[in-house]
Chains A and B, each alone.
Chain A
């Protein structure tokens, strides 16, 4: 019984804990996305709530076909999740499919993150206000176009997905006045430059005889003129200073042809690290080299730091053991002792026994080696 209760409690705990992982509180990352559909957290009435954020749009209501148009929005939000992530959509409809402005003839040149997508995620600062800009080229067809801002966010521990949608911003798309200078339709603003790169930025234009460029670092208020060099076939080479680290530079191009001067939207260019030039063989060689050099260093240190060998010389154990096995040699000189002469000296000669000598030690007769007689 107790085991069942524990099992049921465990299952209930697991089920309850899954509620916190239903949403994507970390966001899904920047990308091209349609308006929320009913199946998602932010669109499901049981999981979502309307956002109290204020979305204001400050862009103009007029654009010319095929020319650049800057869309500015400011979002003021009073409650946000602990991660402070806010997802912002730029849409042309709220149907759940085909909502991207690019599906309605617009072309996104640059989004607030420096890429060219319609959904970006930003971190809301502590003052709760976020200002974002998209730079687009207007559709080629004359008429009216709509741009809408939608936002996704969370708030505190309520586990609700909040959804906010702005009023539709209507833009009248007019035909381009004859000979209006602007960017070439197929030109895409570069999003990044390699750190330290001083090579000029190529700008392609149409109906333009002259351009001027102002630049500033992102966040600065004062802009500086850039040097512009005329290229070939409506190409202009703009010399912007190199950026380092995470630095982002913004620049604004004014296109002129003597009849019109058109101030284009501010464009942003980030900085990326240089391309990595390592390879597998180099990495392996460097790795092995590091291993060998460390082994050589530490092995040498082991040899140098070992205890002095003189200490071992004082250990006489082996010599003592050897000495025990072999008897010590006498230090007194051995007398030179002639055994043969001593033997001969002890032999006794008796006249009555010529040719023979008596050995009193062994008590026997032995032949006299000096006897020369023949008997």
Chain B
């Protein structure tokens, strides 16, 4: 019972802060197209960076509390999809934070990197919207996203063999290490 209450609390915090991070990042990217928006961009960048960093530790807490609040987690497609989309959200948000950390606030001054940051933010926002929608479907039986005609059916999921999941995990880890160790060296960009 406590885990359910905790889950509701943490989910509210996580989705709220993550949405703030993503919207601020998208707005920072859009501000490049407005003359004299440098100050606003600096504020949006800071808000986005701090909110994204705050979301990263909250996400695993939300997943753990959600797992504890269910009697049989991941035993149906809906809850299985929640794990998958939690992973996608973490990936997009972490990439956003890493990009901002490596290139500094000047990341928004380079058109290609700014676009990549915005794509990460849009991906994170879409994933967390789907996460919330699945949660609403599971608890309330309906979601505000039901009005969309193309909304996918979440009563189905892509389930792969357990061993293959482990292989995918190892491939993912190796890919991350390779991206950092073998990828091009990056430098902070001037503001």
Contact status of A294 and B88, CB under 8 A, knowing A276-B80, A286-B168, A306-B186 = yes
Q: How far is the CA of A234 from the CA of B67 in the complex (A)?
A: 48
Choose one: A277, A279, A294; the contact of B92 (CB below 8 Å).
Answer: A294
Answer yes or no: B40 CB below 8 A from chain A CBs. no
Taking the closest CB of chain A, its distance from the CB of B70, in whole angstroms, is 10
- For chain A, what secondary structure do more than half of its interface residues adopt (helix, strand, loop), or is it mixed? helix
Q: Which residues of B contact A305 (CB under 8 A)?
A: 110, 112-113, 116
Q: Which residues of B contact A328 (CB under 8 A)?
A: none
Q: Which residue in chain A gives the minimum CB-CB distance to B156?
A: A273
Could you tell me which residues of chain B, from 17 to 48, have a CB within 8 Å of some CB in chain A? Answer: none
Answer yes or no: B95 CB below 8 A from chain A CBs. yes
30 residue pairs bridging A and B, Cβ less than 8 Å apart: A276-B157, A280-B73, A282-B159, A282-B162, A282-B165, A283-B80, A283-B83, A285-B165, A287-B90, A289-B87, A289-B169, A289-B172, A294-B91, A295-B179, A296-B172, A296-B178, A298-B92, A298-B95, A298-B120, A299-B180, A302-B95, A302-B98, A303-B183, A303-B184, A303-B185, A304-B184, A305-B113, A306-B103, A306-B110, A309-B187
Closest 6 pairs (CB-CB, A-B): A292-B172, A294-B91, A287-B87, A296-B175, A298-B95, A285-B165
Answer yes or no: B126 CB below 8 A from chain A CBs. no
Answer yes or no: A278 CB below 8 A from chain B CBs. yes
> What is the interface of chain B, defined by CB distance below 8 A to chain A?
63, 67, 73-77, 79-80, 83-84, 86-88, 90-92, 94-95, 98-99, 102-103, 110, 112-113, 116, 120, 123, 155-157, 159-162, 165-166, 168-169, 171-173, 175-176, 178-180, 183-187, 189
Q: Which residue in chain A gives the minimum CB-CB distance to B117?
A: A302
Q: Which residue in chain B gives the minimum CB-CB distance to A307?
A: B110
Taking the closest CB of chain B, its distance from the CB of A15, in whole angstroms, is 26
Are A278 and B157 touching (Cβ within 8 A)? Answer: yes
Q: Which residue in chain A gives the minimum CB-CB distance to B175?
A: A296
Choose one: B67, B84, B90, B173; the contact of A280 (CB below 8 Å).
Answer: B67
Residue among B86, B88, B176, B186 with the highest chain A CB neighbour number at 10 A: B176
Could you tell me which residues of chain A, from 217 to 276, have a CB within 8 Å of some CB in chain B? Answer: 273, 276
Taking the closest CB of chain A, its distance from the CB of B30, in whole angstroms, is 19
Answer yes or no: A320 CB below 8 A from chain B CBs. no
Taking the closest CB of chain B, its distance from the CB of A16, in whole angstroms, is 26
Q: Which residues of B contact A273 (CB under 8 A)?
A: 155-156
Q: Which residues of A contact B103 (CB under 8 A)?
A: 302, 306
Are A282 and B92 touching (Cβ within 8 A)? Answer: no
Q: Which residues of A contact B183 (CB under 8 A)?
A: 299-300, 303-304
Are B112 and A299 touching (Cβ within 8 A)? Answer: no
Are B75 and A278 touching (Cβ within 8 A)? Answer: yes
Contact status of A290 and B87, CB under 8 A, knowing A285-B168, A285-B169, A303-B183 = yes
Taking the closest CB of chain A, its distance from the CB of B84, in whole angstroms, is 6
Q: How far is the CA of A285 from the CA of B163 in the complex (A)?
A: 9
Taking the closest CB of chain A, its distance from the CB of B176, in whole angstroms, is 5
Answer yes or no: A312 CB below 8 A from chain B CBs. yes
Q: Which residue in chain A gives the minimum CB-CB distance to B168?
A: A289
Are A312 and B187 touching (Cβ within 8 A)? Answer: yes
A318-360 interface code vs B (CB 8 A; 1 in, 0 out): 0000000000000000000000000000000000000000000
Q: How far is the CA of A300 from the CA of B178 in the complex (A)?
A: 9
Are A292 and B169 touching (Cβ within 8 A)? Answer: yes
Q: Which residues of B contact A301 (CB under 8 A)?
A: 116
